[in-house]
Structures are given as structure tokens and as C-alpha cells.
Amino acid sequence: MSGHAEPAPIRLLMIDDSDAAFLTLRAMLGPRRDGGARYAVTHTSDLAAGRADMRAGGHDCYLIDYRLRGESGLDLVRDARAAGVTWPIVMLTASNGVEREAAEAGANDFLVKGEFDRALLERTVRYAINNAEGVRRLAELNASLEATVAERTAQYAEANRQLLDQIHAREQAEAALVQAERLQALGRMTGSVAHDFNNVLTALFGSLEVLGRRLGDRPDPRLAGPLATATEAARLGERMVEGLLAFARRRPLAPRLLRLQAVIGELEPLLRLTLGAAIALRIDTDPHLPPVLVDREQLERVLLNLASNARDAAAGRPGARFALSTRDGGDGMVELSAADNGPGMDPHTLEHAFEPFFTTKTGGQGAGQGTGLGLAQVYGFAVQSGGQAAIDSRPGEGVRVRLSIPVAGERVADHQALGAA
């Protein structure tokens, strides 16, 4: 052993109520001439002290009596393990046949009292120490594995959530694109039909005018009635063609530099008239919004179309209201929004509401009938003005139509500012 520091003795604590058993053990583990491991054996018959020592980890191995003064050594082991004690424990039993119980309680090994010699004792202690160390490592590994699994699971969940968000955003973008493309295709078709129909109307108006003039010379009451009816029908046709052209963005526009808030303010009396007394009008416009370059007549028509839709939808509902508001939409856009607290739209209506001739107002006559051109005009106006239109609605939650319109370019603004409304 010369030159080498001696290894520290293995510290054993015996928890046992028998002093004799302790003395035997200590004698058995006394120093040996031929070297080998050295032991420092201590003893306590005080259960509480033993328990405290196990928790603090004051020894390298614990030898615990199976039966401790009325109390069970097994319980002591169980309690210690439950409290997270991982130190090696050897159970000392009076007989064979309890090894399974001891193992289940958490002992690393056991010895039958009076049936072991020094060699078996040493082997058992060494084994218990190794076994406890293995168990401890396994538990650590298990814990770190669980932590890794939990971390990975969280990472996967996060990645999955991001993926779902992306899919959702993409689906929405695709749906919006499909909708825009559909409306565009519909616009092309509508535009050419309206154009042809316009020619028919022009011929019709020409002939009606000639007839009117001739009648003017020789008034004939039998002809005046049908002529008036025909002229009225032709006018209706003209309005429809206008609606179609507006949707198809083929209506010639006369854009002027306008402030939405000013136009809305001036139109207020007409909007109130359209809504009727039963529907409250709320106007919430931003006085500092920059001007936009739009056709005033078409803009007014948009506002009146939206108001009449709100009237049709919200009529007869207590607390019905229609709110017009404007705000800075960011990115050089101004947002105009028209919201009501009517019954809202079902998904089918929402999908088709912008299409010309799509109407759910088919019941009754006169006022109950719709042509389905109101929102088509709204949509056409927004797009032809360089902007966009969208509808937010859910059944039972009212309708909000949002138009975003580009702010007039700065040079235009400077140039025309004095003439702006």
C-alpha cells in the first residue's frame, strides 16, 4: 500500500434494535491483515434517527432489520424510497422467504441473520452498492429520456401548430383567389352581355323616342299608356345594364379627388331616408383621412346600396342599426366599412353575394324583390377604383362590408386639392 492513499472505508449504518446483532456485525467486518475493503460500521436503534440519516445520505450502505421494535423495517424502506432515497439498502431478515417482499419494498438485497459469514456480507454489501448505483443511473436516464421526449413532443406540437396555421392561411388565400378569379371571369362574361344588351336598348330607346314624337303631334290615349309602360321597362333595362357594367368594371368613371368623410356627411339625409326611422344610422368617420380618387356618383350609389341592404336585412328588428365608418387601412389604403346588426348571411349567400343577379329577395312583389345588382355594383366600384371589397358575416352576427380604396397619389392630391370635396 506504500505510496498510495488508502481508499476511504465503506460506511455502513445498521438500523436494528439489537445491540448483539450490531456487535457481531462489527466484529465480522473488523480490519483484515491481508488488506481488502475497510468498513466503518455504526449502529442506531432509533428509527427516526435512522430515517433522517437515510434522507441525508450519511452512509454508503444501510443494513435494516426486518422487524424493528413493533415497527416494520419494510415500511422504513418503503418510506425512504418513496421520499426519493436511492442509497443502497440491505434487509436483514430472521428467515428465508421474505426476499421478494424486501425487494418490492425497495431493498437492494437481503441477508438472513445468523446465516452469513464475512465473505457473503461483503459480497452482499458490494452488490447492493452497485445495484443501487445502477438503479439510480437508470432513474436518471429515464428522467432525462422523459424530459427529452417531453421536449421533442412540445417541438413537434409547435411545428404541427405552425403547419396548421400555414395550411389555414394558405387555404384562405386560395379561397380568396378562387373567389376573385371567379368574379373576374363572371365580370368578363357580364361585360360582353351588358354591352350587347346596351345596343339593343339604344335601338329600343331610339324607336320609342320616334314613336313619342309622332304621338306628340296627335295625342292618342290608347297609345300613350303602352308607350309609357314600354319606356319605363326600357329604363329598368337601362338600370340593369348599368349595374352589370358597373360589376364588369366597364362603366365609364369620372374619378374626382374626394374625401370619403365629406361624401358620407353630405349623403347623410338621403341615407336616413333610405334606412327609415326604425334603423339607426351611425357615422364614424376619420376627419384626417387623405382623399381618394373615385367617381362620386358611383360612390354614392355604393353607400345607398349598402344602406338599402341593411334596411332589408335589419328591418323589424329591435335596435336595428347601420354603421358607416372610415379609417386608415395602412399600405396607402383607406378603408370604408358598412356594418349592420341584421341576421347576417349564411355561407352560400356569403360566397355568392357579390355576383350580379344573386339575390335571396325573391318573395312578394315590388319592394320584396331584389335584382341582385346592389353588391355587384359595390364590388365593381371597389375594384375599378383600384381597391378591393370583402364581406365579413356569420349567421346571426350581422354583415360588415369592407371596401379598401387607394389613397390618391401625392401629385394628384397637390394638383387637385383645391377642387376636392
Ligand X SMILES: Nc1ncnc2c1ncn2[C@@H]1O[C@H](COP(=O)(O)OP(=O)(O)OP(=O)(O)O)[C@@H](O)[C@H]1O
Which residues bind to ligand X, rule: CB under 6 A?
Answer: 305, 309-310, 313, 340, 342, 345, 349, 353, 358-361, 370-376, 399
Q: At what angle do helices 118-217 and 221-247 cross, to 10 degrees?
A: 150
342 part of the interface to Mg ion, by CB under 5 A: no
Binding at 361: pick from Mg ion, ligand X, none (beta carbon under 5-8 Å per type): ligand X
Q: How far is the CB of 306 from Mg ion (least distance, A)?
A: 8
Q: Can you read off the three cell numbers belonging to residue 14?
A: 445498521
Q: Is 374 in the site for Mg ion (CB under 5 A)?
A: yes
Q: Which is nearer to ligand X, 76 or 194 (CB)?
A: 194
Give the closest residue to 295 by CA, choosing from 333, 256, 247, 337.
Answer: 256
Question: What's the closest the beta carbon of residue 309 comes to ligand X, in angstroms?
Answer: 3
Selection from 403, 183, 411 nearest residue 294 by Cα: 403
Which of the ranges 18-26, 227-235, 268-276, 368-376 carries the binding residues for Mg ion, by CB under 5 A?
Answer: 368-376
Least distance in Å: CB of 386 to ligand X? Answer: 22
Measured from the CB atom, the residue of 66 and 379 that comes closer to Mg ion is 379
Helix, coil or strand: residue 388: strand
Residue 256 and residue 415 in contact, taking contact as beta carbons nearer than 8 Å = no
| Residue number of the CB atom closest to Mg ion | 374
Residue 73 vs 374, nearer CB to ligand X: 374
Which string of DSSP letters, residue by residue, matches 121-158? Answer: HHHHHHHHHHHHHHHHHHHHHHHHHHHHHHHHHHHHHH
Give kind and range of the element (H or E) at residue 403: strand 399-406
Kindly give the residue spans of alpha helices, DSSP state H, lying in 276-396.
296-314, 347-352, 374-384
293 binds, among ligand X, Mg ion, none (CB under 5 to 8 A by kind): none
274 sits near Mg ion (criterion: CB under 5 A): no
Interface map 296-315 toward Mg ion (x if CB under 5 A): -------------x------
Minimum CB distance to ligand X, residue 242 (Å): 12
User: For ligand X, which is the closer residue by CB, 309 or 337?
Assistant: 309
> Which of residues 89 and 373 has its CB atom nearest to ligand X in the complex?
373
Q: Closest CB to ligand X among 370 and 386?
A: 370
CA-only gyration radius of the chain, Å: 46
Pick what 376 binds: Mg ion, ligand X, none; C-beta below 5 to 8 Å, kind-dependent.
ligand X
CA 137 to mean position of chain CA atoms: 42
For residue 25, what is its C-alpha cell? Answer: 456485525
* 322 membership: H or E segment, kind and range: strand 321-330
Identify the residue whose cell numbers are 438500523: 15
CB of 399 to ligand X, least distance (A): 4
Per-residue DSSP letter, 185: H
Residues that bind Mg ion (CB under 5 A): 309, 374
